[in-house]
Structure 1
Amino acid sequence: MPSLPRSPFGRRGRAAAEVTPERTEPRVDIVESPGLRWINIERPRALEQTWLEEHFDFHALDYEDVRSRNQRPKVDEYDDYLFIVLHFPRYDKVVSRLNAAEVDMFVGPDFLITLPNEPLQTIDYLFERCRTNEELRESLFSKGPGYLLYKIVDDCVDASFPMLGKIGNKLERIEEEIFTGEGDDVVRDISNAKQEIINFRKIVRPQRLAFRDLERNKARYIAEDLDIYFDDLIDGSERAWDMLENYKEVVEGLESTNESAIAHRTNETFRVLTAISLIFLPLTLIASVFGMNVPVPAEHGAHAFWIIIGVMFAIVVAVAAFFRRRGWL
């Protein structure tokens, strides 16, 4: 059997794979202050999960939830820690779609662990500020893990409002395109806006209950004079939900309005075409009568052609004036 030619790219591809070394150390970022550690592990994999199991004695079901990528928002309470799963909106520029970024968190008396399964700019930014700004770190960490938890979640909730603002601006632009008739892709824009609102509602709806559970369990890790902060989280979540409810009604109204506008423009087109057809109908009848292959009166007259043309023109003017007076043209 003849040997097949070898691809020139095969050896190069294997060499490139061999050059890329596998990680042997877990990627664990830690910021600590007296009495509190914040551990951030972005996109935890096997190495990071092994590191967690070696350093913390969490429940096996919690580790299973960390490995899973499809958990609903929830708050599980244990004797010495809380396990929290939250979802936050994240716009994926690659697919141009709004997705849910899951963040798993462990909260204990002297530690807080965040495990986002997708990069979240708000968490990265706050973590880096705490790492580089000692004054900010002391201000946040001195109030305990509960306040640090509030600050992280509050920043993530606040980050959703600019996204909601963009959806609102998009709906306003769609409304202008509907009434000006300048947008050729209004139906597609409405469909995209509806999909974004649906995805956003899927993120916010189950999270409202999780925030209420978190508000009930906050007393273990937050001082009594700071409990109003967790009420603020619920207010922010409810405000986002109210905006989504409003957007849902708006986009449904825009869809109905666009269908009515399309039907109206179609009716206008048919009305004009019908009026033109009716104007030329008597002319067609006259031309058909005098075009028959039988003798007709005045067919040999020199002025018959011009008389017929004059009559036809008078009929066109009369019918057009009648349609104009009735508002059909």
Structure 2
Amino acid sequence: MPNLPRLRRGARGRAPVRPPEQPDTPNVEEIEACGLRWINIERPRQVDRAWLEEHFDFHSLDYEDVFSRNQRPKVDEYDDYLFVVLHFPRFDKQVGRLNAAELDVFVGSDFIITLPNEPIQPLEYLFERCRTGDELREQLFSKGAGYLLYKVVDDCVDASFPMLRKMGNKLERLEEEIFEGRSEEIVRDISNVKQEIINFRKIVRPQRAALRDLDRTRRYVPESLEVYFDDIVDASERIWDMLENYKEVVEALESTNESVISHRVNDVLRVLTSISVVVLPLTLVASVFGMNVHVPGQGSIEAFWIVIVAMVLMLGGMLGYFRHRGWL
């Protein structure tokens, strides 16, 4: 990687600089303790890039990755810092679907900069706890930038498990509804759950390689923290295994639902076919005696009742035979 100049030190302070009513003001929040700074910039804009370029010397390609919407998860090592791009699932209530929230992180010897392109609740919660809790701030910041990076990534990865539990509960509910006779009504629900699983897998699949690269890096991540990042990799693999299981479950539910609908249609067709077969000979007899030609018993009331009785017996015999064969 290119040899870059060291970062330039800016003004220090714990109070966040975040006036939302002034759009031209950098949206920068900063916490400092034990010689370590955590800078959080949510939804970075060009004015935030100008602030970063003023206070730090990062590679221009990294800035392009921060403001790119199609950046894949990765880990880039430089002489003076580490650049990490990660994606985490986030449910967008406006569109009602699962999307990827990108988190870009710069890690140095005495700083960590997080730049989420969308609000990430675990990251916001951890930042607020560090800002308001002196004991937690001292505990996390005293262990260095590598441990703080682990804590940020670990909280964001663990936030996927509640989403997966809700997804599992939804699959169980769909299974119950299938056998309660609501097969036609839940076709759209099955499709929505399947789409959620597909989107979740699209987020997690490339993330696994990036987390393994992060586990192998030794810049700002000493060997003492290797077991912590191994835990993140294990959590990511558990998430992937659950998604693989859910993928098989939703495919099985979809197949079962189609089979239930098919059996229901077959039952309807069987009844209609049986009715047609039963009525067919009766229609034939009525047609014969309804022809405009002379037939035996024509004009006799006794012949009429004989024909009616014969048709009733024929109907009863055919119904009994169909029931005996299990067709009705």
- State the TM-score, normalized to the length of structure 1: 0.90
CA-CA distance at 1:283 after TM superposition = 0.9
Structure 2: 5+ residue stretches without partners: 1-19
Partner SS, residue 165 of structure 1: helix
Q: Find the aligned partners of 2:308 and 2:93 in 1 and give their Cα distance.
A: 66
Partner SS, residue 99 of structure 2: strand
Which residue of the partner structure matches residue 158 of structure 1? 158
Judged with a 3 Å threshold, the aligned counterparts in structure 2 of structure 1 residues 193 and 21 are, in CA distance, closer, same or farther, namely closer
Greater shift in the superposed pair: 107-116 or 164-173? 164-173
Which residue of the partner structure matches residue 29 of structure 1? 29
Which residue of the partner structure matches residue 50 of structure 1? 50
Report matched runs for 1:237-276 at 5 Å. 237-276=236-275
CA shift digits 1:203-242 (9 cap, x unpaired): 110000000110111x332443332110000000000001
Q: Find the aligned partners of 1:307 and 1:132 in 2 and give their Cα distance.
A: 98
Judged with a 3 Å threshold, the aligned counterparts in structure 2 of structure 1 residues 194 and 133 are, in CA distance, closer, same or farther, namely same
The amino acid that maps onto 1:231 is D
Which residue of the partner structure matches residue 202 of structure 1? 202
Which residue of the partner structure matches residue 10 of structure 2? none
CA-CA distance at 1:176 after TM superposition = 2.0
Report matched runs for 1:129-278 at 5 Å. 129-217=129-217, 219-278=218-277
Structure 1: 5+ residue stretches without partners: 1-19
Which has a greater percent of helix?
1
Q: Find the aligned partners of 1:197 and 1:294 in 2 and give their Cα distance.
A: 72
Judged with a 3 Å threshold, the aligned counterparts in structure 2 of structure 1 residues 255 and 41 are, in CA distance, closer, same or farther, namely same
The amino acid that maps onto 2:114 is T
Partner SS, residue 23 of structure 1: coil
Q: Segments of 4+ in structure 1 off by > 4 A? A: none
CA-CA distance at 1:308 after TM superposition = 1.9
Q: Find the aligned partners of 1:71 and 1:185 in 2 and give their Cα distance.
A: 39
CA-CA distance at 1:256 after TM superposition = 2.0
CA shift digits 1:249-269 (9 cap, x unpaired): 122222222222222222111
Q: Find the aligned partners of 2:237 and 2:123 in 1 and give their Cα distance.
A: 22
CA-CA distance at 1:185 after TM superposition = 2.5
Any conservation in 1 of the 2:282–2:311 contact (CA below 8 Å)?
A: yes
Greater shift in the superposed pair: 261-270 or 134-143? 261-270
Any conservation in 1 of the 2:82–2:219 contact (CA below 8 Å)?
A: no
Q: Find the aligned partners of 2:22 and 2:131 in 1 and give their Cα distance.
A: 27
Any conservation in 2 of the 1:131–1:137 contact (CA below 8 Å)?
A: yes
CA-CA distance at 1:22 after TM superposition = 5.5
Q: Find the aligned partners of 1:92 and 1:185 in 2 and give their Cα distance.
A: 24
Which residue of the partner structure matches residue 90 of structure 1? 90
Q: Find the aligned partners of 2:317 and 2:58 in 1 and give their Cα distance.
A: 91
Partner SS, residue 185 of structure 1: coil
Q: Find the aligned partners of 2:188 and 2:125 in 1 and give their Cα distance.
A: 35
Q: Find the aligned partners of 1:112 and 1:287 in 2 and give their Cα distance.
A: 92
Any conservation in 1 of the 2:183–2:260 contact (CA below 8 Å)?
A: no
Q: Find the aligned partners of 2:33 and 2:326 in 1 and give their Cα distance.
A: 80
CA-CA distance at 1:276 after TM superposition = 1.1
CA-CA distance at 1:271 after TM superposition = 1.0
Any conservation in 2 of the 1:44–1:115 contact (CA below 8 Å)?
A: yes
Which residue of the partner structure matches residue 122 of structure 2? 122
CA-CA distance at 1:21 after TM superposition = 7.1
Greater shift in the superposed pair: 162-171 or 146-155? 162-171
Any conservation in 2 of the 1:144–1:222 contact (CA below 8 Å)?
A: no
Which residue of the partner structure matches residue 14 of structure 2? none
Which residue of the partner structure matches residue 99 of structure 2? 99
CA shift digits 1:109-156 (9 cap, x unpaired): 000000000011111111111111111111111111111111111111
**CA RMSD for the aligned pairs?**
1.5
CA-CA distance at 1:277 after TM superposition = 1.0
Q: Find the aligned partners of 2:184 and 2:256 in 1 and give their Cα distance.
A: 15
- State the TM-score, normalized to the length of structure 2: 0.91
Q: Find the aligned partners of 1:160 and 1:25 in 2 and give their Cα distance.
A: 33
CA-CA distance at 1:25 after TM superposition = 1.3
Q: Find the aligned partners of 1:182 and 1:220 in 2 and give their Cα distance.
A: 56
Q: Find the aligned partners of 2:259 and 2:172 in 1 and give their Cα distance.
A: 18
Which residue of the partner structure matches residue 307 of structure 1? 306
CA shift digits 1:171-201 (9 cap, x unpaired): 2222222233224333222211111111111
Corresponding pairs, count: 309
Which residue of the partner structure matches residue 3 of structure 2? none
Greater shift in the superposed pair: 160-169 or 207-216? 160-169
Identity across the alignment (%): 70
Partner SS, residue 150 of structure 1: helix
The amino acid that maps onto 2:195 is Q
